[in-house]
Amino acid sequence: MYKLFSVDDHIIEPPGVWADRVPKKFQEAAPHVIEDEGRQFWVYEDQRAPTMGLNAVAGKPREEWQNEPVRYSDMIPGCYDPVERAKDLRSEGIFASVNFPSLPRFAGTLFLEFKDKELAQTCVSAWNDFVIDEWCPAAPELFVPMVILPLWDPKLAAAEIRRCVEKGARAISMVENPAPLGLPSFHTDHWDPIWEACVEADIPICMHIASSGKSTVLTTEEPGIVEIAAAFTRAAHSSVNMMLSPIPRKFPDIKMVWSEGGIGWIPAALERADRQFDRHRYWSRDTDDLLPSDVCRRNMWFCMIEEPIGLKYRSDIGVDKILWESDYPHADTTFPHTQDGAKIVFDGVPDDEVEQITHTNASALFKWEFVAPV
């Protein structure tokens, strides 16, 4: 059996995440679940979310993937119940799992839109407390706590990182590129307090595809599968952007993970970035002589689900930079056929390299003791 550390899964929030934690004055405005027209809705401030569990398809036949869940009962319990989740993951050979939010979006960008920023900050902390105090303790050796940030204020974000690290957080979720959200880009010092706090705690920064919000497809005519199939271009663009930014040059110990972006495109991206860095160095940059590929090999990690071609190129990527993910309960997940899929994917890869990719790389990066049955 492959012993797997999944660095990208998704919590569908149960109804009490905020209701159980925020002070009375925020109960009405913080996200809570109501019943209306025979379905359930998340409501917050003056908004209503269109789905109860975005893309929560685990356990459903593919023919039904177009129907977004409108009630908790439309999802398998492992989506929102950490005890059931732990059973599902262990049955697949997954013994560690890092989770992104759903309602708050991958990097908590929902709260950027909140009018009341005191409420927003309370909601960010409530999600983090839910993860650390309630979700993860349900299977403490399995769930690796990752937290979100109040993205509108990097100093506040740094304080939240330190607060959560104190409580056991082992990673943060960050937007892959803040510019499309209208926030200062990574080519500024705006975000430095966040990087400082992460380097100080030596925790990785996880950047999920599509966490910057914008789609490159701008009409409603394109079928959804185009964005899904081409999603690696977001990880490619945002990681190249980071390789050429001042951040890894200013924070040489920073550790960044591109989640759900795949791996097979990396050698080509590095080849192109290095060639252009060399050609355009005289006018376009005020950085040191570190090549983009040097930055990548020092500061970046990438994730794969099922990529035989990507693994074929593993020596050009760096076997030590490849992590595995399950993406439970989203459409990319291998659940409930993880072990069968892994047999095909890892066919021909030497055992020591399989161990690196399936769990030892992640275990070292997240400083997480990986406990799998012998």
Residues that bind a second copy (CB under 8 A): 62-66, 179-180, 184-185, 187-188, 214, 216-219, 221-226, 228-233, 236-237, 240-241, 243-244, 262-265, 267-273, 275-277, 279-285, 292, 306-310, 312-313, 316, 331-332
Nearer to a second copy, 193 or 267 (CB): 267
For residue 318, the number of C-alpha atoms closer than 13 Å in the C-beta half-sphere is 17
Q: How far is the CB of 187 from a second copy (least distance, A)?
A: 5
Q: What does the alpha-carbon distance between residue 129 and residue 147 come to, in Å, rounded to a whole number?
A: 9
CA distance 232 to 47: 31
**Measured from the CB atom, is 62 or 115 closer to a second copy?**
62
Among residues 306 and 355, whose Cβ is nearest to a second copy?
306
State the nearest-atom distance from the C-beta of 271 to a second copy, in Å: 4
> Smallest gap, in angstroms, from Cβ of residue 234 to a second copy?
8
Residue 139 or 209: which CB sits closer to a second copy?
209
Bridge pairing between strands 32-36 and 39-44 = antiparallel
C-alpha to C-alpha distance for 234 and 240, rounded to whole angstroms: 10
Give the integer Cα–Cα distance in Å for 89 and 95: 7
- Closest to a second copy by CB, 122 or 238: 238
The H or E element containing residue 143 is strand 143-144
159: Cβ contacts below 8 Å, ≥ 6 apart: none
Please report how the helices 117-129 and 154-167 are oriented relative to each other, as an axis angle in degrees rounded to 10: 20
Nearer to a second copy, 107 or 236 (CB): 236
Give min distance, CB of 304 to a second copy, in A.
10
Minimum Å distance from CB 295 to a second copy? 12
State in angstroms the smallest separation of the CB of 70 from a second copy.
16
Q: Is 131 strand, coil or helix?
A: helix
φ and ψ at 212, to 5 degrees?
A: -90, 0
Smallest separation (angstroms) from a second copy to the CB of 185: 4
Q: Are 145 and 154 in contact (CB under 8 A)?
A: no
Amino acid letter, 355 = E
Question: Of 39 and 312, which has the nearer Cβ to a second copy?
Answer: 312
